[in-house]
Amino acid sequence: MEVFEHLATGFMAAGSLQNLMFCLIGVVLGTLIGVLPGIGPIPALAILLPITFGLDPLSSLIMLAGIYYGAQYGGSTTSILVNMPGEASSVVTCIEGHQMARKGRAGAALAIAALGSFFAGTIGTVFIAAFGPPLASIAQQFNSPDYFALMLLGLTMAIVLAHGSVLKAVAMVLIGLLLGLVGTDINTGLTRYTFGLSGLWEGIDFLPLVLGLFGIVEIIRNLENPPPPREAISTRMRDMWPTKKEFKEAYPAALRGTGLGSLLGILPGGGAVLASFASYTLEKKISKNPRKFGTGAVEGVAGPEAANNAAAQTSFIPLLTLGIPSNPIMAIMMGAMIIQGIQPGAAVMTTRPDLFWGMVASMWIGNLMLVVINLPMIGIWVKLLSVPYRLLYPAILLFCAIGVYSTSTEPFMMVLMIVFTVFGYILYKLGCEPAPMVLGFILGPLMEENLRRSLVISRGDPTIFIDRPISATLLVATVLMLCLIIVPQFRKTREEAFQEE
């Protein structure tokens, strides 16, 4: 009953006219970003982060969250209609969704994707409401050694679940931790790795780093690899509703995808992309007729779409309850909260219940808006695909520059953005994924703070980390994860999974 009271508080907070407006703006922007190939939610959130500075904290977070799960929804539209994933988590939807469209079932595929996403979003919201408070109460028992061990486990899991080479993922995390150390040491007052530049005395700013690594590098990548010709499929509203047979095939897959996505979304390094691929693999393996996959299998649309939306929702749980970002998008959300003067973690639920429960309620409202608004707007989204890239990319670049300069009028911030753009492009050419680096950059200063605090409490005795049950358990889990990387069979399975992806 207490959960329902909290949800009522959340709906009252999220249901204000201002918050409903920002929720609507968020989901519409998110859908637009998902529809247009080559942008994606990470660069979009990074680009739009400066806009949130002057907003109410709840309104800004509702809008950013709406952009995130709106992008998951929008990506499926182009995947089905033009065989071009607007967002990474919608790559799988291309395989079956576009084949359904070629058979004249584009409307049914879009409806299944929309309803599957809405169902998963609803379950994901219930999941957060049910498991958020217990996790927050556990988190309140955490001390500095426990937080350090938890962050160490988070970075280790980010390495395990990162794409490509394990060594490259380790290198990215270490570089992120190193970048997090730049600036003035608050304990000694000495500067570290600043190279005599006064602009680095307060550390590296999050915005130029994330805009350079994701926003501008994404433009360069798309200019280097132009998208393939678009094969548009016409869609009629009267063909929008799936048949009884399609519903019968879709709903078990949506249930499985929702469960799988809800669990994978919580894991550090998991998220919507991993959930959608895992769901597709599961549906293909348990199907009585696996040969139909690749020819327009309904399960191949319903399962992955439900999984990526559920994962998008539940990835907020570690951030809101433990203060740990589970993926790069949550790292940006964490940055937005810190900019607003809010420290993510268990304290949010007690000090700002309107913020926590308002966010939870807004997710359900946003998912409802996506279904109600976007199905009739499919024709508009398809027309937007004709926007020339020669106009789209310069506009994004200009927006990045304005965003960085508006938050700090220091020209040095522009230089930093250019430096991280060059660095990000080099990483792209070397096949290194920057996501673990961003997590390392965000968690590095927090890990250092908790490590120092732990050693102060224990008077320099490192056994404090194994004396406490919580930190000892988390460290054992970290060691087990590291052992998994070393085991040849696990490495082979991991490489096969990402190769299939």
pLDDT tens-digit map of 100-127 = 877 777 778 888 888 888 888 888 888 8
Residues 6+ apart with CB under 8 A from 102: 233, 296
User: What average pLDDT score do residues 483-492 get?
Assistant: 64
Token pair in block for residue 445: 């200063």
Token pair in block for residue 382: 């398809």
* Whether 174 contacts 440, CB under 8 Å: yes
Please give the residue that has the higher pLDDT: either 399 or 197. Answer: 197
Question: Distance (Å, rounded) from C-alpha 213 to C-alpha 427?
Answer: 9
Tell whether the model's pLDDT for residue 452 goes beyond 50: yes
**Bridge-partner residues for 192, per DSSP?**
183
| Percentage of the chain lying above the pLDDT 90 cut | 5
Tracing tokens 């280097």 back to the chain, one arrives at 224
| Percentage of the chain lying above the pLDDT 70 cut | 83
Tell whether the model's pLDDT for residue 55 goes beyond 80: yes
Question: Distance (Å, rounded) from C-alpha 208 to C-alpha 217?
Answer: 12
User: What average pLDDT score do residues 367-385 get?
Assistant: 72
pTM of the model: 0.68
Taking the CA atoms of 72, 74, 77 and 79 in sequence, report the sign of the dihedral they define: negative
Neighbours of 393 (CB within 10 A): 18
Question: Distance (Å, rounded) from C-alpha 323 to C-alpha 400?
Answer: 27
The DSSP code for 200 is G
First to last CA, the chain: 43
Could you tell me the pLDDT band of residue 367, with boundaries at 50, 70 and 90?
Answer: confident
Tell whether the model's pLDDT for residue 21 goes beyond 90: yes
Per-residue burial over 259-296, b if 16 or more Cβ lie within 10 Å, else e, is bbbbbbbbbbbbbbbbbbbbbbbbbbeebeeeebbeeb
Question: Distance (Å, rounded) from C-alpha 170 to C-alpha 154?
Answer: 13
- Of 376, 378, 300, nearest in space to 78 by CA: 378
Tell whether the model's pLDDT for residue 20 goes beyond 90: yes
Tell whether the model's pLDDT for residue 408 goes beyond 60: yes
Please give the residue that has the higher pLDDT: either 125 or 88. Answer: 125
Token pair in block for residue 280: 């597709």
Identify which of 162-166, 239-243, 415-419 has the greatest average pLDDT: 415-419
Tell whether the model's pLDDT for residue 423 goes beyond 90: yes
Could you tell me the pLDDT band of residue 501, with boundaries at 50, 70 and 90?
Answer: very low
- Give the Å distances, CA to CA, from 289 to 181, 292, 306: 54, 6, 21
pLDDT, tens digit, 9 for 90 and up, residues 274-287: 677 778 878 887 88
Question: Distance (Å, rounded) from C-alpha 432 to C-alpha 416?
Answer: 20
The DSSP code for 86 is S
pLDDT at position 500 is: 47
Question: Distance (Å, rounded) from C-alpha 109 to C-alpha 96?
Answer: 9
User: What average pLDDT score do residues 241-266 get?
Assistant: 84
Please give the residue that has the higher pLDDT: either 83 or 46. Answer: 46
Outline where 290-388 has alpha helix (H): 299-314, 316-322, 328-339, 347-351, 353-374, 378-384
pLDDT, tens digit, 9 for 90 and up, residues 310-320: 888 888 888 88
Q: Where are the beta strands (DSSP E) in 390-464?
A: none
pLDDT, tens digit, 9 for 90 and up, residues 137-188: 776 677 888 888 888 887 887 777 666 677 888 898 899 999 988 988 877 8
* Whether 424 contacts 434, CB under 8 Å: yes
Tell whether the model's pLDDT for residue 90 goes beyond 90: no
Question: Distance (Å, rounded) from C-alpha 110 to C-alpha 306?
Answer: 13
Question: Distance (Å, rounded) from C-alpha 439 to C-alpha 29?
Answer: 25
Low-confidence winner among 156-170, 376-390, 486-500 (lowest mean pLDDT): 486-500
- Of 95, 77, 88, 64, nearest in space to 32 by CA: 77
pLDDT at position 25 is: 92
Low-confidence winner among 1-5, 186-190, 331-335, 481-485 (lowest mean pLDDT): 1-5
Question: Distance (Å, rounded) from C-alpha 200 to C-alpha 403?
Answer: 19
* Residue 183 φ then ψ, to 5°: 125, -165
Question: Distance (Å, rounded) from C-alpha 207 to C-alpha 45?
Answer: 10
